[in-house]
Amino acid sequence: MKRLWVIISLFLLSGCKFDSPEERERPLIVVTTSILQDGVSHLVGDLADVVALMPSGVDPHLYKASVRDLDLLQNANLVIYHGLYLEGKMTEIFEKLSVQKDLINASEGIDPDALIKSGTEAHAVDPHIWFDVELWAKAMNHVSLELSEWQPAWNNELNSNNEAYQEELKELDGEIAVKVKELRQSNQALITAHDAFAYFGKAYGLDVKGLQGLSTLSEPGLRDLTGLVNFIVQNDIKAVFAEQTISPKAIEAVVAGCANQNHVISLSGPLFTDSLDAPGTSAGTYTGMVKTNMEIIYNSLLP
């Protein structure tokens, strides 16, 4: 019985925290992805509660808001989303919310010239900007400025948190550049299940190929598969990579295709692409995710 009461009171407590804006101790900031949650938490520290709609391991391209999500969004004091159609199935929700609520579009802080285009349609832009650490730092800087405008009283704390975070990201950017340079010198390429690493390739100078289009909505065709297998065999690529949010079926077919041409290749990973790993694990933060990916890539391509 005692245990039941504990459970009930815990439930009531968590209900209070998120459901009644008037009684809230701190503002509730609702973000979409786990990557954003980590960044925004670095910026606001203890000033607000930061809750993510998508748990770790979830694919944002396919994510549909649940009834609980809509409730959270309605109740939030502020909503922060990634933008660039990463949350492809939530666009309409953001449009409707923007009429009555404060919203921050994190990727608005990026110079349009720095974005990688991906076709002729207006919204055909690669959303995976967090794989270029410098670009992600700019997005976080933009979020920090917008937060300051939203809560001017937070200005000093936001500035000092942002400064510390920018320093951490700058150091990370340097570490990645050094590792990738070695891979480039041994003529390796990064081949993954979907096209998430174009910004990584552009920023650090590595040849990058994905089997699936930018969004996981599209299925890879047989022609893509054959082309990729030929590329791997011709360039003596050592490994291909599975991704945490995507079924490994298609990338397994690449490994099988290489075996048919007597080229043995390892299937490494999974890499963390569109979501962090569970909190408390090595890839449970943004910097941890980038470092973990780099380690997996480096150790698989330079055996």
Residue nearest to Zn ion (CB): 274
Output the CA torsion sign for 233, 235, 236, 239.
Answer: negative
Are 232 and 267 contacting, i.e. CB atoms less than 8 angstroms apart? no
Cβ closest to Zn ion, residue 39 vs residue 257: 39
From CA 219, how far away is CA 215, in angstroms rounded? Answer: 9
Cβ closest to Zn ion, residue 97 vs residue 196: 196
Residue range at the interface with Zn ion (CB under 5 A); choices 150-158, 193-201, 275-283, 287-295: 193-201
Cβ closest to Zn ion, residue 27 vs residue 57: 57
Cβ closest to Zn ion, residue 146 vs residue 243: 243
Rg (C-alpha) for the chain, rounded Å, is 21
Q: How far is the CB of 196 from Zn ion (least distance, A)?
A: 5
Q: How far is the CB of 125 from Zn ion (least distance, A)?
A: 12
Cβ closest to Zn ion, residue 146 vs residue 195: 195
Residue range at the interface with Zn ion (CB under 5 A); choices 16-24, 194-202, 222-230, 295-303: 194-202
Residue range at the interface with Zn ion (CB under 5 A); choices 6-14, 23-31, 35-43, 270-278: 270-278
Are 76 and 65 contacting, i.e. CB atoms less than 8 angstroms apart? no
Residue range at the interface with Zn ion (CB under 5 A); choices 28-36, 152-160, 219-227, 269-277: 269-277
SS (H, E, C) the chain: CHHHHHHHHHHHHHHHHHHCCCCCCCCEEEECCHHHHHHHHHHHCCCCEEEECCCCCCCCCCCCCCHHHHHHHHHCCEEEECCCCCCHHHHHHHHHHHHHCCEEEHHHHCCHHHCCECCCCCCCECCCHHHCHHHHHHHHHHHHHHHHHHCHHHHHHHHHHHHHHHHHHHHHHHHHHHHHHHHHHCCCEEEEEECCCHHHHHHHCCEEEEEECCCCCCCCCHHHHHHHHHHHHHHCCCEEEEECCCCCHHHHHHHHHHHHCCCCCEEEEEECCCCCCCCCCCCCCHHHHHHHHHHHHHHHHCC
Q: How far is the CB of 194 from Zn ion (least distance, A)?
A: 6
Cβ closest to Zn ion, residue 224 vs residue 274: 274
Q: How far is the CB of 261 from Zn ion (least distance, A)?
A: 29
Cβ closest to Zn ion, residue 245 vs residue 300: 245
- 196 touching Zn ion, by CB under 5 A: yes
- In one-letter notation, the amino acid at residue 157 is E
Size of the site for Zn ion (CB under 5 A): 2
- 274 touching Zn ion, by CB under 5 A: yes
Residue range at the interface with Zn ion (CB under 5 A); choices 63-71, 192-200, 255-263, 293-301: 192-200
- 38 touching Zn ion, by CB under 5 A: no
Residue range at the interface with Zn ion (CB under 5 A); choices 69-77, 118-126, 191-199, 235-243: 191-199
Q: How far is the CB of 209 from Zn ion (least distance, A)?
A: 15
Cβ closest to Zn ion, residue 210 vs residue 257: 210
- Chain contacts with Zn ion (rule: CB under 5 A): 196, 274
